[in-house]
Each structure stands twice: as structure tokens, then as C-alpha cells.
Structure 1
Amino acid sequence: MGEGRTSLKEEISRMIIRSVADIRPAAEALRDIAWARANLRVAVADNIASKTPLMDEDGAILASEVFGWNAPNERWWADTRLALSSPLPRACRYESEPFWANADGFRTRQHNRYLDAIDLANFEKRAFTKAAIVIPVHLPFGQIGMATFNASHADQTDLSAEYEEHADELALLTHRYIAGCVKALRTRQWLPADCQLTKREVECLRWASIGKTDKEISMILGRSHATVRFHIQNAGEKLDAVNRSQTIFKAAQLGYLGFAA
């Protein structure tokens, strides 16, 4: 550890968020840590599916006020189509470990074939960066957050050294920060607490989630049509769902319907 550098434990402690008031100080700490480590600029989204940028308790947009993305060509947070058009959040839907990317491709610890299919044309324009270390943060209920640690020099396209040295520790800091933000900002309970489905209910829902009808599920599981319908309806009541589709959706959000690799 270099002289004057704080320990990872101390850095993680600066990411603790107990209330909305802690969001901005933790963001400032994350910004400073990334710069001190490798002159990296930070961009954070707590939910890549949301058009609302991450804000502090006073409603200030952190991307601008804390992380300094203010140049006309840097206002990534103002692009409401970013999650659909940029290759970086798209990659976060298929990868849960840190990776780095530029116009030549994605680099991961282990090969991910889903990333090979992502279009990288006009990378810089669509990703608002020439190169970035990306930290996906997969949270409960299907929410995905992400942070990018971007090269500070306009002509730098290779972050391989920074990735090897810092990505794992940046991932710890990022996860603590984004998870804390989400808990502090969540004001509405969308799913029932402590919902426990039975083995039969999960079996029926897994088959239903890939398009099987009740009749087909009954043949697969060797149960009556009425029994299958009962299990799916019972699961829906537990999940406070209004129909079959929402039952499947909520069960998936709680991780009951995970697919094998």
C-alpha cells in the first residue's frame, strides 16, 4: 500500500449509506477514490431501467454536481435512451462480474458469449467514452445498477492495466454504494415480504415461464390439469399477483425461476 493511501476497509466504510443524506458524501468518496487510484472518472446509475438519474437529498443530479459530467458531449445522464442504445448497460444485463470495454470488444475474467453478439459500432458516441471499466450490480427484484470508471485522457483506449489492478476492489466499493442508494431511496414495497413458494408451485411456474400451457404442464409433471391450475393460482395469491403473467414476473424477480447456464 502506498504512503498516504487509505485501506480498502476504510474505503468501504465511506460507502455506507444509512439514509438519503449519505448518498452525496459517499458519491464524493467514490469519485475521489477512483481518481486517487488510477485517474478514473466515475459514472453511476442505480437502475439502468430508469430514466431518472441518481440524485442527492436536495434533488441535485450527482452525474453533474459530483462526478463532473458537464461538457456538452458528456451529459450521458440526459440521454433517456442510453440504457437501450449504449453497449455498456446492455452488457450489464448479461454479465455480473467487472469487465472493461472499448470499441474493440469486451474483456472479462471468463468468456461470456452473450457479449460477443453486442454491436459495438460507433462505440464512443453510444457509450459516451472511449474506454471504461464497468461494474454491473445485480440487486434483488431484478434491478440492475452499474458504474463505469472511465479513462480521463481523451485518447486513452486501453484500460487493461487499470482493470487488472483495481477492478475487483472497485467492484466492492460500487456494490456497497449502489446497494445503499437503492435501500435508502426505496419508498414503496412492490413485492410481499417473506413469500415462500412450494416445490410444486415453482415447478409449474418454471414451465409456464417458457410458454407451456396448464395442459402441457400437467402432462410433463404427471399431474391433473386442475392441480397445475391450483398451484399457479395459489402462487399468484402468495405473490399478490393479478394474473398469470404477473405471477410469473414476480416469481422471476424473487429468483424462483432462474435458468440453468
Structure 2
Amino acid sequence: MAFADPELATSRGDVPCDLSALVDSVTVTGIESIAGAAAALCRFAAEHDLRAALCADVAVYEPMVDADGRVLAADTFGWLGEHERWWQDHHLALRSPLPRACRYEAEPFWCNSDGFHTLTPNAYLDDIELGDFFDLRFRAPAAIIVPVHLPFAQVSANCFVPMDRSMSDLSAPFARLGATLGAVTRRFVASYVATMRAQKRRIPGNCDLTKREVECLRWAAIGKTDREVSMIVGISHATVRYHLQRAAEKLESVNRTQTIFKAGQLGFLGAST
């Protein structure tokens, strides 16, 4: 794995000095502002000869849309050409190495057929095959990737591909723009998701699990039975079941699996799961 230059020169003349104003321009403050914020991000990318391809959640099929239900990938970012409608491919998140890489990396990186180029080593990316990289819907030999990890374990995968389809080395654009792309993409995606999520709540608010409830859930999450948990933790079998039941009530879950899932989404279980 090759590594990018860690000094992201955001102060150079072709990168806006007023990052705060740029970030504000891509912030979604309500459903009606989605289109304008997306357009601002699109313009910034275009000013640097890049095209943006954004996906708010790699686990679902729904593309990002504006207040009128128009697909941003099509109407704002212009992915409408032949073989460019990547947002219509419901299996892309499963087949493409890029969304897969975003599950294991939180900082911006770039990649080409030689591999993933990250700021710091990430052994998980070494195991991802890039053999189908050139089969991506973008038909581009390289891309800058901005992962966005959100509350409730949601992962957003976002790509910026050069308009010059012959560019396969993005080390210089990444060094110049990587940090800025990371900041504006995170703000746009996070504010978009927060706005859309406000319309529907599936996780209870202000959930406060006890230390013992979390401890029992962590062992249950790796497949231990109630009896095994009781021996590990040093409490009775019945007490383990009590703690798991209390956690389920607090998380408004209907079974053990959903309790573990919701606890994981809220970060109670840590990286061990």
C-alpha cells in the first residue's frame, strides 16, 4: 500500500482560504435547502475538475434526494450519461471495492489500480481486491474517496473522480484538496442525514444502559449464551437474563438480536463486535 503526503496544503491559492464559508454553503439546514447545498458542493468539485458521486448510506438502496424527490446524483451531479447511472445499481455497494473500503477507513484517501493510498496504514484495505476497479460505473481509473461515519453505525461512501478520464495518479490533487473535500463532504452528508432522519425515529432517545447491562450485551454479541455470560461475569443465570431484558426495554427491542443491533448502533458495544 502506498501512502499519500500527510501535508494537505489547503492554504494554496486554488483552495478557498475561507473554509468556514464553504462549509456553511454546503450545510443542509432543512429539506428545502438540500438542492442548494448539493449545488454548492457540485460547483466546488467542478471548479477543481472533479465530479462528485455521493451515497449517504451504503446499507440502503435509496439515493439522496432533494425536497421534491429529485435524485441528486442525476439532477444535481449530472450522472446521466450512458453507463453513468451508478445510483440505479442496487448491488453496487456490495460489489464495488470503494464502499467496502469505507467500512474500514474513516479518513479521506484516494485509490487507483495500484491500491488504496491512505494517510496512515490500514491493513484491512490490503485485503480488498481492486481487480474490478475499472468496471465501476464512473469508468474512471482513479478516485478520491471521502468516507463519512455517522451516528447509528451509518456509513456514507463518497467519490470524487477527475473529469480527465486519463488521470490515474491523484496524489497531487489529493494533497491539495483532500482535507477540504473531507470537511465539506462530511458537513453536507451529516446535515443531509440529520435532516432526513428527523422525519423518522427508529432508535429511542436518551437511552442510558447500566455498566452491567452493557457488559452482558457485549458477551451476548459475540455469541455467548446466558449461562456462559453468567459464568464469565460472575452473576447468576437469572440475573443475566434480567439485565438483557432491561436493556431490551430501554432500547424498545422485541428480541435479543434487535437489542444487540440497537446497542451496537448507539456505540455501547465498541469495536469488539
Q: Deviations over 1:69-93 (max 9, x none)?
A: 1111211111110110111101111
SS in 1 for 2:104: coil
Specify the alignment match of 1:47 in structure 2: 57
Query: Is contact 1:105–1:120 with CA below 8 Å preserved after alignment?
Result: yes
Specify the alignment match of 2:41 in structure 1: 30
Q: Partners of 1:16 and 1:207 in 2: how far apart?
A: 40
Q: TM-score, normalised by structure 2?
A: 0.91
Instruction: Say whether residues 1:209 and 2:221 are aligned partners.
Output: yes
Q: Partners of 2:209 and 2:103 in 1: how far apart?
A: 26
Query: Is contact 1:87–1:126 with CA below 8 Å preserved after alignment?
Result: no
Aligned residues: 260
Q: Which runs of 4+ in 1 moved over 4 A?
A: 3-6
Query: Is contact 1:141–1:253 with CA below 8 Å preserved after alignment?
Result: yes
Specify the alignment match of 2:148 in structure 1: 137
- CA shift, 1:4, in A, is 10
Deviates more, 1:199-208 or 1:127-136: 127-136
Query: Is contact 2:98–2:157 with CA below 8 Å preserved after alignment?
Result: no
Q: TM-score, normalised by structure 1?
A: 0.95
Specify the alignment match of 1:175 in structure 2: 186
Specify the alignment match of 1:228 in structure 2: 240
Query: Is contact 1:86–1:127 with CA below 8 Å preserved after alignment?
Result: no
Instruction: Indicate the percent of aligned positions where both proteins have the same amino acid.
Output: 49
Gaps of 5+ in 1: none
Q: Partners of 2:76 and 2:17 in 1: how far apart?
A: 21
Instruction: Say whether residues 1:218 and 2:227 are aligned partners.
Output: no
Query: Is contact 2:15–2:177 with CA below 8 Å preserved after alignment?
Result: no
Give 1:250's aligned amino acid. K
Q: Partners of 1:4 and 1:233 in 2: how far apart?
A: 53
SS in 2 for 1:259: helix
Instruction: Say whether residues 1:162 and 2:173 are aligned partners.
Output: yes
- CA shift, 1:47, in A, is 1.1
Instruction: Say whether residues 1:150 and 2:161 are aligned partners.
Output: yes
Q: Partners of 2:219 and 2:14 in 1: how far apart?
A: 57
User: Larger relative CO (CA 8 A, sep 6+): 1 or 2?
Assistant: 2
Query: Is contact 2:96–2:132 with CA below 8 Å preserved after alignment?
Result: no
Give 1:178's aligned amino acid. V
Q: 1:69 to 1:3 in 2, by over 3 A?
A: closer
Specify the alignment match of 2:18 in structure 1: 7
Gaps of 5+ in 2: 1-11
